[in-house]
Structure 1
């Protein structure tokens, strides 16, 4: 869905802030995730060393991407897999649909994959007339509600359990009779079980592609991916070309970082490795195993100063700790990827002109980089988008004029200090009981939060007074 169809960023933010249940829904999940991650990191004395090693592994792969892609393809083909290459999202969808049609697929199950969302695969399947069944519990909720995912780990983060219970009562044949989580999970299990058995094709993403074996690693917490990839006669893997790791040893390092950062666990309930189709004597598995390797702007990112972003493990830690995401949720960002990582990726995928507001929505406090398991310098990358937006003249005229006025004052300290002193004293006149609830010409700052009453003197005035006092 285009940014135009989703409306202006400011409009999306206002809608999110006006939603009375959204912040509750966000904090229920991200608050727990922050606590569990902190505990997991505290219990791992070598986390900092592992983090540095993970960063170096990913940087090495990105620098030698052509070598590892060639090695992965060679080993995947040797296992009996069929490897396809896609430059763009449209090409990737065409390849997947052609495989489905060749297999005369009427029903497709899909395990959660943000890359699938990125290339628009759910919409492509729906438009082709093939029945699409989202098997991840949160994606099942999103599909029933006609939503878009709002978080890369918990796609239905924006829904409270009360809302989910009502949704299941409307759509499930044997709905839950309350909003107890276990009861709702049981209802979804009953609803999806036959869909797994009926599917002709199963589609998954890949957390890692293992170059020296041609294998694929898929990580889930529900077991739905295993049913999606094992039962149908055809298994299709869609993966970005940056998902490579040189060997199983390297994958294990990255897995430990990924899981602790995403959910705070030591390892996920299901960590599954796939290599080729079913062999003679195997009790289960697909008859055909297809891997679609997708660029979709990644080589442009590599050449355009965004190579650091190709380290991303898609753990979601940056958004769980982002003060902005926790206020507005994922949908307000407008793209497939929300939060700090989305604010970097969306301009690369959709164009800076359409997504320039995202970089400006960041406070640049740096908490996203602090918790990133592979130390991606997200604030630096966001500043880079701001600078490019300015160079290309994409900033509104009012913003450029205001910054020009500020720059003039900053170059004339005497005028700047007078202006700051006047502004502080004017702001104090609007305070009530120590807080400023409304400020002229500053609706965007005070509409959804109050400002504390500023001190009676500016920092420079206070500093000068203290220096005079010391001299006395």
Structure 2
């Protein structure tokens, strides 16, 4: 649960659009991600078949969620792990904090987990007086900046290399000797290594929960998850209940989709399955392993039209291809999850009244659905939120009045055609050089982009003219 902000979405978006450095940072990352994903998919002819299988796996699990969760709890407990159930974010925070306090933990290392952000874990640990150390390099950057993640795969993508160098000079002791990536990574390694080895508790998320073994799976490119989960005395996993899969084979089927869609690779450098705490004879590992399974609205989604959102494997591809996200970045969305998937999930987590602007910010171009590895119909779900917002009377009175006026015109074809003819000709008066840069009552659009100057006739007028021309021919 990201800290709520009182700034309206439109104001946040307006500020983001005016930030040229932010746009540069977003373009660098999303452009590379889009290119690499396209190459990875092109080099994997079975990708569409893999998508269909991935969708089938997730749909099967969603339809049998209770069965597989019980199986997971049974097998995880048999391996020596302790399984905890949290109905909402507050209960999840309380469970994790209690485990840390009972262990007299002074330092807690944490590998990247959006579920941890969702339940407000960073703030809970701080309130309990426990030092939290983010071990993912990008999370380390935003911790130094005092910010929340702006992307679910690249949390610091809104920061340029030059800005990161400034943060490291201020937050590292000693500061890095140069601004090149290798030197800055080495500086972060120096800062974090002692924390890895001195932590009392390590907290991770889970990309998958394997029902038939009770194992949890983490996927990283830095190895920080392994250093977070292995040296400390206690390992805590926080995961949403939808992360369950029937078996390891099913996990690998989804991994083939996740990695290609997220980073454009075939497999990450580190894919690790954790199954219980350290056993007699093991060289290393935690003495205790706790798994906190979080609902926080997911069960409620099972019963409504947003059920398909539970397929999401958190790859971030929908963000990288979203024309809105690529203009305003993640923080403008104001919730834990940004982009198209966040615009569906945030109303579930924070309530529709507080987040109705997010579904309305979508252009409905469909790119997010095209690239989703498990074929979630994101535009359809966003449209469902719009319908619900209208039915609940959450839309502004001016908007409802405007749509009501349009509806009255649309039910009167002759009047509608007359209004269209007048409108098209009136719009041409505001055009200059083929574009309209200023338009009364449309400042929200023309403040950031130009409208093409329309032709002098409506579509129907042009259509009839072509029909007549064709008849004469």
Shorter chain as normaliser: what TM range? over 0.9
1:448 counterpart SS class? coil
In 2, Cα distance between equivalents of 1:331 and 1:341: 14
1:95 counterpart SS class? helix
Q: Does 2:185 correspond to 1:185? A: yes
* Alpha-carbon shift at residue 177 of structure 1 (Å): 3.5
1:132 counterpart SS class? strand
Question: Equivalent residues in 2 for 1:92-103 (5 A)?
Answer: 92-103=92-103
Residue 196 of structure 2 corresponds to 196
In 2, Cα distance between equivalents of 1:20 and 1:178: 25
Q: Deviations over 1:6-55 (max 9, x none)?
A: 41011111111111211110010010000010001011111111100000
Residue 426 of structure 1 corresponds to 426
| 8 Å CA contact 1:203, 1:236 repeated in 2 | yes
| 8 Å CA contact 1:200, 1:232 repeated in 2 | yes
Instruction: Give the 3 Å change call, closer, same or farther, for CA 107–3 of structure 1 in structure 2.
Output: closer
| 8 Å CA contact 1:3, 1:354 repeated in 2 | no
Residue 66 of structure 1 corresponds to 66
In 2, Cα distance between equivalents of 1:11 and 1:117: 23
Question: Equivalent residues in 2 for 1:279-428 (5 A)?
Answer: 279-428=279-428
Residue 166 of structure 1 corresponds to 166
In 1, Cα distance between equivalents of 2:51 and 2:175: 44
* Alpha-carbon shift at residue 203 of structure 1 (Å): 0.1
Question: Equivalent residues in 2 for 1:39-188 (5 A)?
Answer: 39-188=39-188
Q: Aligned pair count? A: 472
In 1, Cα distance between equivalents of 2:50 and 2:75: 28
In 2, Cα distance between equivalents of 1:405 and 1:177: 64
Q: Deviations over 1:337-374 (max 9, x none)?
A: 00000000000111000011111000111110110000
Residue 241 of structure 2 corresponds to 241
* Alpha-carbon shift at residue 130 of structure 1 (Å): 0.2
Residue 221 of structure 1 corresponds to 221
| 8 Å CA contact 1:369, 1:375 repeated in 2 | yes
1:431 counterpart SS class? coil
Question: Equivalent residues in 2 for 1:460-471 (5 A)?
Answer: 460-471=460-471
Give the gaps of 5 or more residues in structure 1.
none
* Alpha-carbon shift at residue 303 of structure 1 (Å): 1.2
In 1, Cα distance between equivalents of 2:5 and 2:240: 26
* Alpha-carbon shift at residue 209 of structure 1 (Å): 0.3
* Alpha-carbon shift at residue 410 of structure 1 (Å): 1.2
* Alpha-carbon shift at residue 3 of structure 1 (Å): 7.6
| 8 Å CA contact 2:2, 2:336 repeated in 1 | no
2:159 counterpart SS class? coil
In 2, Cα distance between equivalents of 1:179 and 1:451: 42
TM normalised by structure 1 equals 0.98
1:21 counterpart SS class? helix
Once the two structures are overlaid, the 10-residue window that deviates more, 445-454 or 82-91, is 445-454
* Alpha-carbon shift at residue 262 of structure 1 (Å): 0.2
Q: Deviations over 1:89-146 (max 9, x none)?
A: 0100110011101111000000000000000000100111000001111111111101
In 2, Cα distance between equivalents of 1:414 and 1:97: 67
The runs of at least 4 aligned residues of structure 1 exceeding 3 Å deviation read 1-4
Residue 276 of structure 1 corresponds to 276
Residue 458 of structure 2 corresponds to 458
2:258 counterpart SS class? helix
Q: RMSD between aligned alpha carbons? A: 1.1
Once the two structures are overlaid, the 10-residue window that deviates more, 422-431 or 302-311, is 422-431
TM normalised by structure 2 equals 0.98
In 2, Cα distance between equivalents of 1:238 and 1:186: 29
| 8 Å CA contact 2:4, 2:334 repeated in 1 | no
| 8 Å CA contact 2:12, 2:332 repeated in 1 | yes
| 8 Å CA contact 1:6, 1:334 repeated in 2 | no
In 2, Cα distance between equivalents of 1:175 and 1:317: 35
* Alpha-carbon shift at residue 2 of structure 1 (Å): 7.0
2:5 counterpart SS class? helix
In 1, Cα distance between equivalents of 2:161 and 2:462: 51
* Alpha-carbon shift at residue 187 of structure 1 (Å): 1.1
Q: Deviations over 1:362-404 (max 9, x none)?
A: 0111110110000001011001000000111111110000001
In 2, Cα distance between equivalents of 1:378 and 1:212: 31
Instruction: Give the 3 Å change call, closer, same or farther, for CA 326–135 of structure 1 in structure 2.
Output: same
